[in-house]
Structure 1
Amino acid sequence: MGERKIDVLVVRWYERAGRDDIAARWLDAAREHLPEAMPRRFGDTEPLRGRLDRDGEEGFLRAYDSADSLLFISGKGPVHHASLSATRPGYFGPTVAHSLHAELPATDPRVHRFARALLHPSTIYVSASIEGGEILDGDTLYGPPERPGEPFLAPVGDWLGLPPRPPIWCWFGPAYQRLVRRQVTGEKVADGLFWSGGPWVREPLHARLSEPDPNHRAALRTPRGLRRSTLQIIMAGLHR
């Protein structure tokens, strides 16, 4: 099968670092809600050398435990790619992100059920956006997209804030409840708020992504404990 351009649904889960059960949670959620997201192949470098049919779920869990920063997953179409943050506290900041890349509509109920199944009290924010014009060559997905989706909001593990432009849908975790409850409306889901349209959050909550100085890109208001101070970043670099 030759290469073709596709539009890709990207779902990202941002959560506080420190939990190491995302691989097990992923297996449970995929098995129940989105079997195509099961890790057919997996690894922390290309080519992905782990195989579920050979190594089993225990092999997948071991691969996650031994990964340095990210464990990559190749599922079964229409789930073409996923990644799980394996970053442990230390050099990186206190926020981690996991992602799903699928050739599915954002309204697909299987995606919604899968996204919700991965939620827990440490989840900060979950969003869905479309990246247009990526290349699918066989079962391998290549970027960058011609039309980017929502920008990444936690570079090096430091949370910047909410996107200036709204996603297709999102879920605000408990840490954001107090900050957004008077600005947006939605459905209460798993101790958070599911938003799928209407007014977006106000500018003080927006990540300032166009700021030339990386130290000034964080939103004016964010929940506490999701990013490091400048001193902490310097000290982490010295002890790397």
Structure 2
Amino acid sequence: MSYDLEVYGRTAVSSEDAALIVASVDGLSPRLDPITGGLLSAEYQSSGEYCFTFEGPLRVDESDLPDVRFVAPLPDTLYRISVEGSRPESVSYAVTFAQELARRSDGQAIDPQNEEPQSQPQRRAARSTQKLHLHLSWFRPNDGGKELASDYLATAREEFPPAVPTRFGTHEPLQGSLADNGVNDAEFGQMYRDKCLAKELLFKGKSLRWGRITAWSQSFYLRYQQLWVTFDLAALQRMGRTDDVERFLVAVAERTGSYFAFAEVNATPLKTASSPHHVGAWSGLPERPQWLTWYSGGYEDMVLPHLTAGVTTRHARGISHRWTDEPSSGEELDVIVGRDTWLPSDLLAPADPQNHRKVLGPAATMPTQLNAL
């Protein structure tokens, strides 16, 4: 699981200057982009091991700011720092870097897990006080189809308005915007068709923290397409929309021909349930149960005998499963499942025990049509 920090600044600090900040932190070295010279990540000087990644500067406006009180003038620049690893000191290093970056950019370092200003290094808050996110992800074969963006938007308009984007593009700052009445919705799908041969389409909305759709080219390194969106769970609960999530998950899955989809609840802005690809290929189902799931393309009969609790519903093109009525995290579902693995291990992506972001190969068992992915 990752630990993430954001710095919102009023004065832009270049990626090159951010690299100098890393170099000033005792024990760290910057890893630079060989072309631009900008900062990509920080590494431990002693071992060369990864410490955290860096992204920025990114332009933002008032609609992008988190629910934190900022002193005027409002910040207009965002930097993202992400820690994914097993060394506990990495978080402290990331916080130290974020605080110095905030000082130099006349800004604030924010912990998105709580959306509170970071004034000093601190331990991660207990889960009960953390801000929870809901991540929806869909997976379909990459058949060269260019309609994934259009299909997603049409389904969101029909079934789940909180998932409708307001801004979209292939990079920050996002280049396109959608009208509330949908009059220019065609531009969303057109950008995906025209610009996303080998690029991701990025988007965000009023209730939608962000979303991504992978490229459509069959020459792209991923041999399957993935679509995912992230919401603030508390916001959906305030709107009374959590009961509609399963219908939306199923509607997008059926419309796009997805063979697997899930809804994950966690305390980080990043989804953590997806199995990493194996050399661009589909590697199997995730190692932990997720609140909602969708199965098609041959997975239905493989998983159905093992969904021993919750509610399973058959649909025209697959099955959906819900473990609990209310959104639940993987940790909570482990207790409900009550066994070492929620599915037989041969259906799961074989993760590297030393690095959860890496799989050792494809799952031993998967539907025939997915063996080629």
Same fold (TM over 0.5): yes
Partner of 2:134: 9
1:116 has 2:242 as partner: no
CA drift at 1:87: 2.9
Q: Which residue of 1 aligns with 2:23?
A: none
* TM-score of the aligned structures, taking structure 1 as reference length: 0.78
Kept in 1: contact 2:224–2:281 (CA 8 A): yes
In 1, Cα distance between equivalents of 2:315 and 2:279: 29
Structure 1 residue aligned with 2:364: 220
CA distance in 2, matches of 1:155, 1:97: 14
One of 84, 90, 99 as aligned partner of 2:228 = 99
Root-mean-square deviation (CA), in Å? 2.8
Distance 1:155 1:69 in 2: 19
Give the distance between the partners of 1:7 and 1:184, measured in 2 at CA. 25
- Residue 94 to residue 224, structure 1, CA distance change in 2 (3 Å): farther
Give the alignment partner of residue 87 of structure 1, picking from 195, 201, 216.
216
Question: Which residue in 1 is equivalent to 2:47?
Answer: none
Q: Pick 1 or 2: higher relative contact order, CA cutoff 8 A, min separation 6.
A: 1
Unaligned runs of 5+ in 2: 1-66, 69-109, 117-130, 324-335
The 5-angstrom pairing of residues 130-209 of structure 1 reads 130-134=265-269, 149-154=272-277, 157-184=280-307, 186-197=312-323, 200-209=342-351
Q: Is the 8 A contact 1:159 1:218 kept in 2?
A: yes
**Structure 1 residues not aligned, in runs of 5+:** 135-144, 230-240
Distance (whole Å) between structure 2 residues aligned to residue 59 and residue 212 of structure 1: 44
1:42-70 deviation line (CA, Å, top 9, x unaligned): 00111111111399212212211122331
Q: Encode CA deviations 1:121-177: one digit per residue, 9 max, x unaligned.
A: 73111111123144xxxxxxxxxx5xx631344366411111121111211113212
| Whole-angstrom distance in 1 between the partners of 2:296 and 2:247 | 16
Contact 1:39 1:74 in 2 (8 A): yes
Query: Sequence identity of aligned pairs in percent?
Result: 23
**Equivalent residue letter for 1:222:** M
Separation of aligned partners in 1, 2:294 and 2:185:
29
Taking a change above 3 Å as real, the CA distance of residues 154 and 173 of structure 1, as seen in their structure-2 partners, is: farther
2:174 matched residue in structure 1: 48
Cα offset for 1:26? 1.4
Larger Rg: 2
3-state DSSP class of the match of 1:61? Answer: helix
Q: Distance in 2 between matches of 1:50 and 1:189?
A: 35
Q: Distance in 1 between matches of 2:189 and 2:230?
A: 20
Deviation of residue 35 (structure 1)?
Answer: 1.6
- Contact conserved, 2:167 with 2:174, CA < 8 A, in 1? yes
Which of 189, 205, 224 in structure 2 is aligned with 1:75? 205
Contact preservation (8 Å) 1:74, 1:82: yes
- Checking the alignment, whether the CA contact within 8 Å between 1:95 and 1:154 is kept in structure 2 is no
1:93 touches 1:227 (CA, 8 Å); kept in 2?
no
Query: Alpha-carbon deviation of 1:180?
Result: 2.0
For residue 182 of structure 1, give the secondary structure of its aligned residue in structure 2: helix
TM score, norm. by length of structure 2: 0.52
- CA deviations 1:174-202 (Å, max 9, x no partner) are 32123223333522123212122375321
* Aligned-pair CA distance for 1:212: 6.5
Structure 2 vs 1, CA of residues 215 and 101 (structure 1 numbering), >3 Å: closer, same or farther?
closer
